[in-house]
């Protein structure tokens, strides 16, 4: 899997990175560490807690922003990075043409209008799993995470809206061949942001991983 899109795109995220804090930190994953470990070990390190959506509002995660002030917001940066046929870029970073592969449903999408940018771990799920304790700056950084390719992904609008804010216990990609990648990336993203899992979510991920290679994942903490 790709870990960082490009140095230029990573620089966009750097403008949003916030200092590490102590909220919900997985054991043995200190600020500044970069870990590479089998995905099942990564899953085992995630704290298990019940979820609470009290107080959640999508507006508490500010997005999409233009962190590096180049005229292209986070959505456009992801679309440009993930295009299999590059789009044309006009004034104000208006994109046209181009083509994308939507891994959730194994579809080929022409033109950016048929695409959503999915937060792999949805904003509401992040709130439930620890982000309710974060500052507004931390939630903004999460919502615009260009520092790890797994965090944001261009997918068909239909598949993204089918997923909504569900975790793997209630939704998995229709493309069965992508499910191993999906839950592996989910675990890495939760570890990166020091988020917890609930018991049903962890069991569902483990069930998928039982039929997947126990691949190594590399995780650099964002907070």
Give per-residue pLDDT as tens, 102-152. 999 999 999 999 999 999 999 999 999 999 999 999 999 999 999 999 999
Q: Structure pTM?
A: 0.87
Q: Is 211 contained in some domain?
A: yes
Number of domains in the chain: 1
Residue 218, phi then psi, degrees to nearest 5:
-110, 130
Give per-residue pLDDT as tens, 121-133. 999 999 999 999 9
| Cβ-count burial 73-90 (b if 16+ within 10 Å, e if not) | bbbbbbbbbbbeeebebe
Q: Is 111 contained in some domain?
A: yes
Q: How many CB atoms lie within 10 A of CB 19?
A: 8
Out of 23-37, 136-150, 163-177, 197-211, which region has the weakest mean confidence (pLDDT)? 23-37
State yes or no: pLDDT of 25 exceeds 60.
Answer: no
Q: What is the pLDDT of residue 29?
A: 61
Q: Is 132 contained in some domain?
A: yes
Q: Is 2 contained in some domain?
A: no
Q: Is 155 contained in some domain?
A: yes
State yes or no: pLDDT of 18 exceeds 80.
Answer: no
Q: Is 107 contained in some domain?
A: yes
Q: Is 1 contained in some domain?
A: no
Q: What is the pLDDT of residue 31?
A: 64
């Amino acid at each position: 899997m790709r870990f960082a899109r490009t140095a230029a795109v990573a620089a966009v995220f750097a403008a949003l990175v916030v200092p590490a804090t102590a909220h919900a930190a997985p054991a043995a994953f200190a600020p500044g560490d970069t870990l590479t470990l089998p995905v099942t070990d990564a899953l085992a390190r995630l704290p298990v807690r019940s979820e609470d959506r009290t107080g959640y509002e999508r507006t508490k995660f500010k997005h999409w922003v233009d962190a590096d002030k180049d005229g292209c917001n986070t959505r456009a940066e992801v679309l440009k990075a993930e295009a299999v046929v590059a789009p044309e870029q006009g004034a104000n970073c208006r994109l046209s043409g181009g083509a994308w592969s939507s891994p959730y449903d194994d579809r080929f999408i022409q033109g950016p209008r048929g695409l959503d940018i999915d937060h792999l771990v949805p904003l509401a799920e992040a709130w439930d799993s620890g982000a309710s304790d974060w500052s507004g700056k931390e939630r903004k950084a999460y919502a615009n995470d260009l520092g790890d390719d797994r965090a944001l992904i261009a997918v068909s609008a239909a598949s993204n809206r089918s997923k909504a804010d569900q975790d793997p216990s209630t939704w998995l990609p229709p493309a069965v061949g992508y499910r191993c990648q999906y839950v592996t990336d989910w675990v890495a993203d939760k570890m990166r942001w020091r988020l917890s899992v609930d018991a049903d979510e962890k069991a569902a991920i483990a069930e998928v991983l039982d039929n997947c290679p126990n691949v190594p994942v590399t995780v650099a903490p964002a907070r």
